[in-house]
Structure 1
Amino acid sequence: MKRQRLFLHMVKQCLTRRVRFDPDQLETLMAISEEGSFEAAARRLHVTPSAVSQRVRALEAAAGTVLVTRAAPATPTEAGEPLLRLARQLRLIASEAEAALATGPVLDVAIAVNADSLATWFRQVLAAVADRPGTALRLSVEDEGHSHELLRRGEVLAAVTREPRPVQGCSVEPLGVLRYRAAAAPWFLERHRRGPGIDWAGAPLLVFNEKDLLQDEVLAAHGVGRPPVVHRVPSNADFLAAVEAGLGWGMIPHPQLAPAVADGRLVALAGARPVDVPLHWQRWRLTSTALDQVTDDVRRAAAALHRR
């Protein structure tokens, strides 16, 4: 323990000599971002709210601008996002250095992943990390079209995203495509049948949330907009269950659709082309054994995206 404290003191001294941002102040900024308030950050850091305010004011003085919104919840401003990224990088580097000294820290790896990936191919990543008890995954579930924003704000170290252009400070590599097909319960199709297909303009529809536009791509191909009844089910497992229950039709990932069709729970809707969503892996350009290992896990698991 004495060796660990000495090492961390040396790291802090080195950092404060080379940069104008104090590590304790950066840690406080990160705690505010994750906890949502100065008071909650103070409880986590075991200091008073006054100490948290003083650290933030000192950090803002060093940066020359406002870094945290004084609102509920308290969040980093756009100017604060680069410092939040720096804070996370310093925490990961310090944790890995402690691990190298055999002081036994838990390495926290924050990742953003979309719900459909998490429910299908990404589960292999979870199984791989389970074999490394010193690594803790902190997953943020976000739509693949928006997850790169969590990277930009410094809230995660890596993300499964639809965005092929790298966020500043990040590298990007393609993973493959997640294929979706329009599907419904067999009896739902019979109830809303029109000719050889379905009544696209009138059949009730399911969407995951307001960011989910996959169903709209199918409707647009048939020259119609959303029907009067649109259900919102923001959970992958419950979305699938709702389609199987006949609440509406929806876009189902192929890994979930294939077994449901095989046992008669769902049918793929005729006249609807599959929608392929390209996925990419973006991560910070940061020397990190833990992040490298998770990246390798993701590459292996993503091999399933090439088998449709």
Structure 2
Amino acid sequence: MNPIHLETLLTIVEEGSFEVAAAVLGISPSAVSQRIKSLEAATGRVLLRRTNPVTATDAGEIIVQAERRMALLQAETDVALGRRLARVPLSVAINSDSLATWFRGVIDETARRGEAALRIRIEDEARTLALLRRGDVLGAVTREHTPVSGCESSFIGTMRYHAVACPRLAREFAAGEITWETMPLVGYGPNDQTVNDAMRERFIDSHVVRARVSQIPSSEGYLEAVRCGLGWGLISKLQARELLKAGQLVLLDDKPLDIDLYWQRWRLESEVLEALTRDVLDAARALAPSKLGKARDS
């Protein structure tokens, strides 16, 4: 297959548009279309869904993932040859809570080495695996231990979450003035699996509380919303610790929610990807050694 055609396919998928891909590549939209037609003729498959945004078909995703791997190896080769201005792009999927806490150590180490560019995708840890499976990212922090085909999985630790609220809501809850189903709730977004798990453990009917759920799609914003009293929420132990000590947050019960996290990455011979994996494991263990176990690879 023509490498230029493969690059064009990847650019279209990343940009979601033939027109934007043409601008990025510095060619006309008709030239982009012609390249894709030639690639589809060579493979005998339809590779793109002509929707808005444009997405890859199942066959297209296989080729896109292969092209991403080749692009990573090419970028590493460029760096090894001494073109130090070129950085190896590392796309990573991670949940917002991890990014706000232990993953900062990974960013520090990546910056210190200066040989890779991080491209972080924020997604719930229960959903990051879909990005890895499609080849959109090289590595992902996920709940799933079983490795995706072509990937390896390492245990990185357990994030503990507590149901907390501001002192005012906590007092009303303790006094019986409000219940789990009448107390306002703060969620990260419509796909917040952590909050959904906590509600299920407390037998809270999601349909009953739906009208009282605020959605704050930022880890720092979420923490502030709970602190201010917009509703109760699930806050990681790492984020809640100081506010609990200061009395700005109060535990609502003694039912912590523990979520095991795993680092899944492509099984690919890559020095930069290996270094990133070491940084992920080291950063997680350094921040909460009492909750982290020995890494196990599959």
Q: One fold, TM greater than 0.5?
A: yes
CA–CA separation in structure 1 for the residues paired with 2:266 and 2:119: 16
Among 150, 155, 159, the alignment partner of 1:174 is 155
Once the two structures are overlaid, the 10-residue window that deviates more, 185-194 or 52-61, is 185-194
For residue 261 of structure 1, the aligned residue among 225, 234, 244 is: 244
Q: 2:271 aligns with which of 253, 273, 289?
A: 289
Structure 2 matches for 1:1-308, cutoff 5 A?
21-104=1-84, 105-195=86-176, 199-226=179-206, 227=209, 228-270=211-253, 272-303=254-285, 304-308=287-291
Deviations 1:253-280 (A, max 9, x none): 110010110111101112x411111111
In structure 2, the CA distance between the partners of 1:46 and 1:117, relative to structure 1 (3 Å rule), is same
Contact 1:183 1:268 in 2 (8 A): yes
> 1:198: Cα distance to partner?
6.1
Letter in 2 for 1:233: I
In structure 1, what residue type is equivalent to 2:264?
Q
| Cα distance in 2 between the residues matched to 1:222 and 1:35 | 42
Provide the rounded CA distance (Å) in 2 between the counterparts of 1:149 and 1:44. 26
Q: Is the 8 A contact 2:185 2:233 kept in 1?
A: yes
* Kept in 2: contact 1:178–1:305 (CA 8 A): no
What secondary structure sits across from 1:231 in the alignment?
A: strand
SS at match of 2:56: coil
Cα separation, 2, equivalents of 1:110 and 1:219: 32
Report the TM-score when normalising by structure 1.
0.89
TM-score by length of 2: 0.92
* Whole-angstrom distance in 1 between the partners of 2:2 and 2:63: 11
CA distance in 2, matches of 1:152, 1:22: 24
Say whether the 8 Å CA contact 1:198–1:269 is kept in structure 2.
no
**Which residue does 2:295 correspond to in 1?**
none
Q: Is 1:25–1:55's contact at 8 Å kept on the other side of the alignment?
A: yes
Q: Deviations over 1:237-258 (max 9, x none)?
A: 1100000010000000110010
Q: What percent identity do the matched residue pairs reach? A: 42
Aligned pair in 2 of structure 1 residues 44, 130: CA closer, same or farther (>3 Å)? same
Q: Read off the aligned partner of 2:102 and give its amino acid letter.
A: W
Counterparts in 2 of 1:257 and 1:286: CA distance versus 1, 3 Å: same
CA distance in structure 1 between the partners assigned to 2:80 and 2:195 by the alignment = 49
Q: Which has the larger radius of gyration?
A: 1
Structure 2 CA distance, aligned partners of 1:54 and 1:66? 14
8 Å CA contact retained: 2:9, 2:36: yes
RMSD: 1.6
Taking structure 1 as reference, are residues 223 and 108 closer, same or farther at Cα in structure 2, changes over 3 Å only?
Answer: closer
Which deviates more from structure 2 when the two are superposed, residues 244-253 or residues 91-100?
91-100
More displaced 10-residue stretch of structure 1: 21-30 or 290-299: 21-30
Question: Could you report, residue by residue, the CA deviation over 1:99-124 in whole angstroms, capped at 9, with x for unpaired residues?
Answer: 22112321111111111100111111
Q: How many Å separate the matches in 1 of 2:10 and 2:197? A: 39
After superposition, the Cα gap between the structure-2 partners of 1:101 and 1:213, relative to the gap in structure 1 and judged at 3 Å, is closer
Q: For 1:112, what is the secondary structure of its paired residue?
A: strand
Aligned residues: 286
Which runs of 5 or more residues in structure 2 are unaligned?
A: 292-298
How much has 1:306 moved relative to structure 2? 4.0
TM-superposed CA distance for 1:54, in Å, is 1.2
Whichever residue aligns with residue 187 of structure 1, its letter is R
Residues in 2 aligned to 1:200 and 1:42: alpha-carbon distance in whole angstroms? 53
State the alpha-carbon separation in 2 of the partners of residues 67 and 306 from structure 1.
46
Closer, same or farther: CA 222–282 of 1 in aligned 2, 3 Å: closer
- 1:56 alignment partner AA: I
